[in-house]
Amino acid sequence: MLDKLGMEGDDDGSKSRDNAYAYAGVREAAKIASRFNQHIDSLKGVSEGLKRRAIRGELTPQLKGIVERARDTVVSVIVEVSKPLPEPKGMSDITLIQDKARRVLNRIGDVSGSHRRILYEFFPAEARALKDILMAMKRDADALDGIARSVDEHASSYSKCRDRIARLVQMEQEMKTFYAKMKEMRDSFATLEQERAEVERMREVILNTNEYIEVDRMLSNVRMEYDRLLAEIARDFSRLNKAISKYEYEVGFERDEYAILKAVIDEPSRLKDVEADVIRDMLGRLSDIIASGRLYLKNPEKDIENVHTLIDRLEHYIGKCREYEGMLKIYMEKITPYQDRLKVIDADLERIKREMDRVRGMLEEYAKRASSLKSAMDEEIKQLTSDIYRIYGLNVRIRLDYLD
């Protein structure tokens, strides 16, 4: 659980570990500050020695003045900066005393370096003592620097852990949202599957109804027989295409007559709407013209035979067309209620399938986003556990609520 890691300031274990770390750092800094203050006391002794040390009398007044000014400068700086470091009370004090110690060291180091030759020639004992003290102060200042860096690193690592936990909490909430959405979509998909199954069952009930099966069978048979008849009619008329075209071009039918003939040739079922005498009359005139030789045809005898064959069959064709159309009407009236119901069911089924496809697509998209988010969370957890181990020396196992 992310809220059990103790990075939010509400866990006694992490508090005690942080307190122990802070106490150890402050205690070590206090020891170093105390030692540094001893060096400051030693500096005061050096400054007193410099003030007491007599300058050789054989020096010229000018040179003596230079030496005195150098000594006074060093003494003045030592007195100026020789204020003891305060005892650190908390982690924030460590950086403060580290900065003060570094300023003391740098100030005295700069002034002693500037007057190094004079110090070693005219105040050799004090110069050596000053060098030893400065080296000791540098070691302590470096130690304070190390503690300050450690404090900063600890604070930085702690802050990073808090940031990682904040990100993980946000990711966890986002993942919970994803999982909730995915559950909602799975439930929706399951409901849609039930709806589809019910609609398909209703469809099967209709398709398996005895009356529907029988009417559909009869309708199919009538259509099949009707199609064969129409194919036969089309074949008979197609045999006369060339003769009819030549007649229309060279002799010419009446406009209304030719429109009727053309309609039947293009759509044989239109024969049911035509009186036999009308077609018979046109075909008779066609036969007479062919017989007279006015039309140039490759095989006029065969064309005349085909014309008479069609004339002989015309009554039969028209009667059968009307018979089949009547049967189709009867069966269609019986099957239409079923077909209308099937259309409604099929439309509903198509709607359900589209909705299922949409939900499935959304589910896949959320699954991809959840997978990507989980990879990011795994990386954050890996870094977080590493940081916690580095800060506290603890191996932790992070459990996420969204998996519960």
Q: Are 144 and 80 in contact (CB under 8 A)?
A: no
Q: What value, to the nearest 5°, has the Cα angle with vertex 390 and ends 388 and 396? A: 35
User: In 121-148, which positions are buried (b, 16+ CB within 10 angstroms) versus exposed (e)?
Assistant: ebbeebbebbeebbeebbebbebbeebb
What element of type H or E holds 109? helix 91-114
Q: List pLDDT tens digits, range 328-365.
A: 999 999 999 999 999 999 999 999 999 999 999 999 99
Q: Are 359 and 188 in contact (CB under 8 A)?
A: yes
Q: What is the pLDDT of residue 1?
A: 46
Q: What is the pLDDT of residue 71?
A: 83
Q: How many Å apart are CA 17 and CA 9, to the nearest integer?
A: 12
Q: What is the pLDDT of residue 137?
A: 86
- DSSP, collapsed to helix, strand or coil, labels residue 399 as coil
Q: How many Å apart are CA 70 and CA 65, to the nearest integer?
A: 9
Q: Are 1 and 401 in contact (CB under 8 A)?
A: yes
For tokens 């089949």, name the residue: 324
Q: What is the pLDDT of residue 8?
A: 43
Write down the domain spans for the chain. Answer: 2-182, 209-358
Question: Considering the entire predicted model, what is its pTM?
Answer: 0.58
Q: What is the pLDDT of residue 10?
A: 42
Q: List pLDDT tens digits, range 257-276.
A: 888 888 988 899 999 988 88
Q: What is the pLDDT of residue 23?
A: 66
The list of the chain residues with pLDDT below 50 reads 1, 3-13, 404
